[in-house]
Structure 1
């Protein structure tokens, strides 16, 4: 058993820490507030404080970056935190596992694979690309061992209120009300199940075959919002839900008053055309498959 430092205790960090604790590892959870699951050593720290993070990660086997600042703060918040993570990984010798995403690819045609260039021109998404590029350069220089594991939009037990299949979707579905959608109902989209995210991060941290390159988390075949709603309704024994889309001009106007809604323009391309993640490489290399869709959807409903 080893020492695992999980930085961040949101929808991913909580699942990850709980799984590591269940496996018998020593788990340290680092957040600004000092929160975290039972069984973990909980540490309150500013992630951007390099000296503090180096202190916390002393003797660690794996360091997980599961932090997720608000989108509108990426340009200011990510650079100092990224530098702190690299410094801590180098000082401790811990394998540095980055929780990544698909934003740096930018708009693409066809399924996304790990060999695509990080070509997004969006300044916020360039920050994420630079984080991986800097970590990979440090890996190649022999300073750290690192990998980045990327997923699509999350769903499942414990999903945040920002999840498109979470608090924006489930209450209306359960109540038999019309579901209001931000995006079109019939465009295929990849959804990554939160317990599968945690499992992929654990695999990436312990298997040296994962280090020195990015991976896509095991993710099931894409589904439209309508397909997700229909399958969930069937699991509940109810008729297919009705869905309506909020007009884009209305959302743009609302974005003038809400930073989060204002950020939707940066990711709109992901939902008005098929957005498909290909996780074949991870699945074949490590022998890990995504949780069957109906099992994942039922667990989401039960939660």
Structure 2
């Protein structure tokens, strides 16, 4: 199949591009490389069509899209730091991007638009595990953190309503805390690893009792790939991730086990805790039932692979040189 990926040089997009090339698809990546990079795609650059451009530029976006069977729209600004520091940029990129993606899907011969939403759309969930039918919530419009959640809620509406009006299929996925190699450093797991490798002060925001369900990238991509092509996923919304819930303190302890280092932990306050839910755990029943999806990578295995990648990136050495 002919497949187009916006944000294909980003963390999730580059892993998806790798998977789809391996599966034999004809892949085009569209990315402005503002946060991703061609280096993430170096193993497949000779096998894909790469177009550098910005999803806010409708004409450049439309020119890059060449009547694919499936358009995966992943391009967005994410990361909590950006929500607080660049909320207007988050709004502009995410909303203009999804608006243009839906316009292009309506105007070209595209069979399905796959939109990457987010677990952030649930706000402060009241049901655990949280199903796709849970109400979506914008908790506080004055808090810049919700610039991202707001764009994803509206993005889902753009996709659903445009698809209904122009009769193309859609699939919406709501990723929950993907992690793994090459995700950048503005996320909790790479931040923890960097502190362990460099020996800097090991800090945890708040009391460490907040929970997340961390999903290794290979499992997350498996879910997105299934959602993008399965007949059962047409015009459906899916949580993707794992239901294995863990506190941030337990996450730190798991990384201590992987690295063999157990530093003293300092708890600090941060603006990033403002508006952050205490728990996040997706209900995967729908993905299991309709897609046959089941995550298979243990937290220990995923953390070890992620640590090995970042150890190389930070030190230039192989992980076996690490003093356990």
Report TM bin, short chain.
0.7 to 0.9
Shift of 1:176: 5.9
The residue aligned with 1:258 is none
Shift of 1:226: 2.1
The residue aligned with 2:18 is 18
The residue aligned with 2:241 is 218
Q: 1:240 to 1:85 in 2, by over 3 A?
A: same
User: Which of 263, 280, 297 is 2:285 aligned to?
Assistant: 280
Shift of 1:190: 1.6
User: Which of 124, 141, 158 is 1:107 aligned to?
Assistant: 124
Cα deviation per residue 1:24-81 (whole Å; 9 max; x = unaligned)? 2111111124954123211012212333322322231111111122431222332221
The residue aligned with 2:264 is 242
- SS of 2:293 mapped into structure 1: coil
- SS of 2:189 mapped into structure 1: coil
Cα deviation per residue 1:82-112 (whole Å; 9 max; x = unaligned)? 1110012122314111111122221122322
**Structure 1 CA distance, aligned partners of 2:294 and 2:185?**
26
- SS of 1:231 mapped into structure 2: helix
Q: 1:137 to 1:20 in 2, by over 3 A?
A: same
**Structure 1 CA distance, aligned partners of 2:18 and 2:235?**
26
User: Which of 300, 303, 317 is 1:297 aligned to?
Assistant: 303
Q: Where do 5+ consecutive residues of structure 1 fail to align?
A: 253-263
User: Which of 134, 142, 157 is 1:116 aligned to?
Assistant: 134
Asked if the contact 2:121–2:137 (Cα under 8 Å) also holds between the matched residues in 1, the reply is: yes
Asked if the contact 1:5–1:28 (Cα under 8 Å) also holds between the matched residues in 2, the reply is: yes
Shift of 1:178: 4.5
The residue aligned with 2:196 is 173
Asked if the contact 1:107–1:120 (Cα under 8 Å) also holds between the matched residues in 2, the reply is: no
Cα deviation per residue 1:94-131 (whole Å; 9 max; x = unaligned)? 41111111222211223221001112244422332111
**Structure 2 CA distance, aligned partners of 1:299 and 1:287?**
25
Which TM-score applies when normalising by structure 1? Answer: 0.85
Size of the alignment, in residue pairs?
283
Q: 1:218 to 1:76 in 2, by over 3 A?
A: closer
**Structure 2 CA distance, aligned partners of 1:225 and 1:66?**
27
Cα-Cα RMSD: 2.2
The residue aligned with 1:199 is 222
Shift of 1:151: 1.6
- SS of 1:110 mapped into structure 2: coil
Shift of 1:220: 4.1
**Structure 1 CA distance, aligned partners of 2:25 and 2:59?**
24
- SS of 1:80 mapped into structure 2: helix
Cα deviation per residue 1:139-177 (whole Å; 9 max; x = unaligned)? 3335321111112223111122111111x1102234566
Asked if the contact 1:218–1:289 (Cα under 8 Å) also holds between the matched residues in 2, the reply is: no
Pair 1:232 & 2:255 matched? yes
